[in-house]
C-alpha cells in the first residue's frame, strides 16, 4: 500500500507529483495503463499524481520504466528525461534543457561546400563540414551576455509599457524624480520612457546579433577563398 500523508499545496507541486501529471498528459496515456504496469489501482496512481501518497521503491522504478525516463527526472533533479548520464551532466553544468541539447547535437550533421555550374556555392549534406563547428564559432563571435541582457531589458521595458497603459498614474514623476533624471541625462545616462527603452534594447540586441553573423560571414568567405586556392594549387601540381 502507498504511504498516505497529508496533502498540501507543496506536496501537490512536489517534483514527483508534477512530473507524473506532465507525463500522464501525453496523448494515449491514462492512469489505468500505468496502474496495470506497476500493479496498483487507478486510485493509487491518482494519489501519486496529486501528492497525496508516495510509491515504494519498487513501484517508483516501475513508473520510471513505464515512461522510459530516469528516476532522477521523476525526482526533479534533472530536466533530462532519458537516463543519459552525459546529457544530464551537460544540462546541470550549462543549465540547458534536453530539447536544447538535442538541437545542438543535431548540428553534428555534416555538410560541405559544393560549386554549382553557374560558379556559385551551396551546402551539400552528409559530407565534411559539421555545422556544430559553425555554431561553436558563432558562440565565440557573439557577445552573448550583452545580447541576452539587452533582450531581457527589452522584455522588462515592454512589460512596463503594457502596465503603464493600465496604470499611467504610477509612471507620473514628481519634481524630485524629474530633477534626478535630468541630472542623469546631463552625465550622459539614458532616461527613456518604457516604449522607447524597449525599442532601444531591441535594436541593441539585434545589432549584436547582426555583427556576430557578419563576422562569421567574413570568416567563411576567407575559408572558401583559401579552399579554392588550395584546389587550384593541387590542380596545377
Among 119, 151, 123, 18, which residue's Cα sits nearest to residue 73?
A: 18
Q: What is the location of CATH 1.10.260.40 in the chain?
A: 3-68
Identify the residue with better confidence: 85 or 163. 85
pLDDT digits (tens, 9 = 90+) for 92-130: 788 888 788 877 777 766 555 566 677 666 655 555 556
Mean pLDDT calculated for residue range 22-28? 90
The per-residue pLDDT for 39 is 94
Report residue 181's pLDDT band, with 50, 70 and 90 as the boundaries.
low
pLDDT at 47: 93
Question: So what's the pLDDT on residue 4?
Answer: 46
pLDDT tens readout for residues 3-20: 545 556 678 889 999 999
As a whole number of angstroms, the distance between CA 135 and CA 216 comes to 10
The yes/no answer on whether domain 3-68 falls in CATH 1.10.260.40 is yes
Identify which has the larger pLDDT, 109 or 234: 234
Does residue 48 contact residue 54 with C-beta atoms inside 8 Å? Answer: yes
Top pLDDT among 194 and 123 is at 194
Instruction: For the chain, give the mean pLDDT.
Output: 77
Instruction: Check residues 148 and 98 and name the one with the higher pLDDT.
Output: 148
Give the residue from 47, 74, 80 showing the smallest Cα distance to 62.
Answer: 74
Q: What are phi and psi of 126, to 5 degrees?
A: 60, 45
Would you state the pLDDT for residue 101? Answer: 81
Amino acid at each position: 500500500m502507498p504511504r498516505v500523508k497529508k496533502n498540501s499545496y507543496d506536496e501537490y507541486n512536489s517534483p514527483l507529483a508534477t512530473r507524473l501529471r506532465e507525463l500522464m498528459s501525453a496523448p494515449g496515456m491514462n492512469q489505468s495503463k500505468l496502474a496495470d504496469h506497476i500493479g496498483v489501482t487507478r486510485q493509487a496512481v491518482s494519489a501519486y499524481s496529486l501528492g497525496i501518497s508516495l510509491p515504494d521503491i519498487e513501484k517508483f522504478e516501475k513508473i520510471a520504466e513505464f515512461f522510459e525516463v530516469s528516476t532522477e527526472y521523476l525526482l526533479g533533479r534533472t530536466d533530462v528525461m532519458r537516463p543519459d548520464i552525459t546529457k544530464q551532466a551537460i544540462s546541470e553544468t550549462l543549465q540547458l534543457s534536453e530539447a536544447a541539447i538535442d538541437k545542438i547535437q543535431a548540428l553534428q550533421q555534416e555538410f560541405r561546400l559544393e560549386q554549382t555550374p553557374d560558379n556559385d556555392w551551396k551546402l551539400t549534406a552528409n559530407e565534411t563540414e559539421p555545422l556544430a563547428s559553425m555554431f561553436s564559432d558563432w558562440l565565440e563571435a557573439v557577445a552573448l551576455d550583452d545580447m541576452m541582457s539587452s533582450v531581457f531589458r527589452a522584455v522588462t521595458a515592454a512589460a512596463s509599457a503594457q502596465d503603464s497603459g493600465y496604470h499611467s498614474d504610477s509612471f507620473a514623476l514628481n519634481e524630485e524624480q524629474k530633477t534626478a533624471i535630468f541630472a542623469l541625462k546631463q552625465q550622459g545616462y539614458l532616461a527613456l520612457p518604457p516604449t522607447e527603452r524597449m525599442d532601444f534594447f531591441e535594436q541593441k540586441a539585434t545589432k549584436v546579433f547582426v555583427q556576430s553573423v557578419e563576422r562569421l560571414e567574413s570568416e567563411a568567405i576567407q575559408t572558401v577563398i583559401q579552399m579554392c586556392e588550395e584546389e587550384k594549387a593541387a590542380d596545377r601540381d
